A and B are shown apart, each in its own frame.
Chain A
């Protein structure tokens, strides 16, 4: 700490000596750690013999990074942070500004307007054909996950019931649309609510047996339920066509106007050049509307007795029972409501892809949706939306990062590192923001002023 006074100038000699010793130590340590993993590599040569490849250059880079990083931390970074902290505490003022910026206050309105304008802006810059990837991969893909995560938020974030099989309801919604439209020819607008109802029904069916379970036990059983649904979809080949999936699912229509090249199609009707972009833009607004519906219902429900009961259930189930709340129906409604939104999203997914197969509904999807909810901050719609943009958008971004091939060689496929980066990002976020992006909670009623509740008081629920 003796270096604080002269931190603005050059670091003193004692500090440099300390930095050098620590850098040396870090170098030795990293050499010891990496020599067998990085320095030597076993491989097979052309005649299938085991050979050892020596990679001393790479090892040297690892060691150098460790040593230089350590030196920089000790000599520059730490004194800098220390002096900043000291200056702040000398000032004796907390830098909590109650005045929020314009952007902060109107964040939701700005975000909504930006979303509404997004497809038009993209079309304006890239043309209808060029906008496809932006609207589809970034817009629709992210919004589907936003909707799924908002739906799961009701179960996990509000009611505190850990559900690892959420994707099962997504599958129920998708297959409801796929099967009923291809077997009975029902239209998208009839099947959208119907898929939600079917998924909610399955939510209740799953809910019944798991109601008495809590915490880890609940998580395992919901996980099993998700797998059961997927295995049924794979093996019930007469109906679901198994792993082949159901293809050529009818597209959604705009109040009866189809999006195709026929005379009555959207493009002809409005005298526009034929392009698949209109359908994508239509789908974008459709999923945006569905997301808004999810958000609206969630916000309204939180202010209703049932929503308060969900949150109370997350905080303390026994106290709920002592207040005359039927915890069985309360949990069932949470499961059913969450499942219903997954059902909506599922039928939208089927209409968008035109093809569904059990492969889209693996456990990893459940895990990703849950990760988005946890990362965003359980219970917070804004935080979850941001997390979905970061997670899903980040993945899509990786796909389009061709310049990485120039650095790592032509064999490098960035999206294969998706899960690695995903995991790393989660660890980093959880280190700095253990309650997710938005850890606080907005109260649903107030007498004098609405104060956000710090995450440290909020329980995560235990089933």
Chain B
């Protein structure tokens, strides 16, 4: 929709530049930049309150950033400036879907209906914006059957097919997390943004989640951007990790690079008692070098 000069390479999917978000006197995000590559699983990590969810809300249009530019580069070559689009158009046109930290399902609708609501725009068009569908003309019937098939596909992937006709609010917690991911996938996204998908899951559920995310990427080619605290998930599945602390980026690279970055260790992962001196020295050296 919004043409911009093409300054990024083809395999860059999302480019966040100089993003800042101010809530009154609080600088939630301060000059934050990063890139996510197409086909990658990018993880955004950081201690509580670092501003990860705020970054997510800026990317998906729920907040309008105070400053900065978020460029989204579709496979077709179209570019979108996400900070300028309203939230629903980011999903509808730019094809960025998201899930929420505190699960937001339509609890009074069945599991299947949740997935059908996610295909709203496609079905609206097929039903001639309700009018043709209401009088029974047009491709609505065929498209509706197709929508149910797509829903069935994702239900099987998320291992929810047995619960398809139950209300979403009746599912156990782990299943609700998987349903939210399946629902986001039903919008046909190019980028899937997951806000703490493993929160509250037991180790076995975490492992199934890993497998689900990997298969989503492998089979649909959807890139994934995720916020996560569970390091077993982050380190196992992500190709690229960005670390955020107090609204600023402190590290950016492969999981191994980030794991060994002394600033990250000091800020977030914690260190053994005997290593504290060592880490402080390393950080001071780094900061001295930076200054």
Contact = CB atoms under 8 A, between A and B. Distances in A.
Contact of A323 (B109, B110, B117, B124): B117
A11 B109 CA distance: 50
A327 B118 CA distance: 13
A71 to B, nearest CB: 45
B118 A446 contact: no
A323 B87 contact: no
Nearest to A443: B110
Interface stretch (B166-174, B232-240, B254-262, B271-279): B166-174
Given A300-B134, A315-B109, A448-B165, A322 B89 contact: no
A453 B109 CA distance: 8
B91 A315 contact: no
A323 B165 contact: no
Contacts of A301: 130, 134
B134 A324 contact: no
A111 B253 CA distance: 69
B120 A324 contact: yes
Nearest to A446: B165
B121 interface: yes
A418 B168 CA distance: 41
Contacts, number: 139
A325 B88 contact: yes
Contact of B187 (A305, A324, A453): A324
Interface string B173-194: 0000000000110010000000
Q: State the main secondary structure of chain B at its contact with A.
A: helix
A453 B107 CA distance: 10
A322 B192 CA distance: 11
B64 to A, nearest CB: 14
A251 interface: no
A322 B97 contact: yes
A441 interface: yes
A451 B163 CA distance: 11
B164 A447 contact: yes
A14 B288 CA distance: 88
B91 A323 contact: yes
Contacts of A321: 62, 87-88, 91
A177 to B, nearest CB: 25
Contact of A322 (B100, B109, B164): B100
Contact of B91 (A308, A314, A322, A458): A322
A93 interface: no
A315 B168 CA distance: 11
A75 B168 CA distance: 46
Interface string A17-31: 000000000000000
13 contacts: A304-B127, A304-B134, A305-B127, A308-B116, A315-B107, A322-B91, A322-B97, A324-B121, A325-B120, A446-B112, A451-B165, A457-B168, A457-B169
Sorted nearest first, the 3 A-B pairs with minimum C-beta distance are: A458-B108, A324-B91, A324-B92
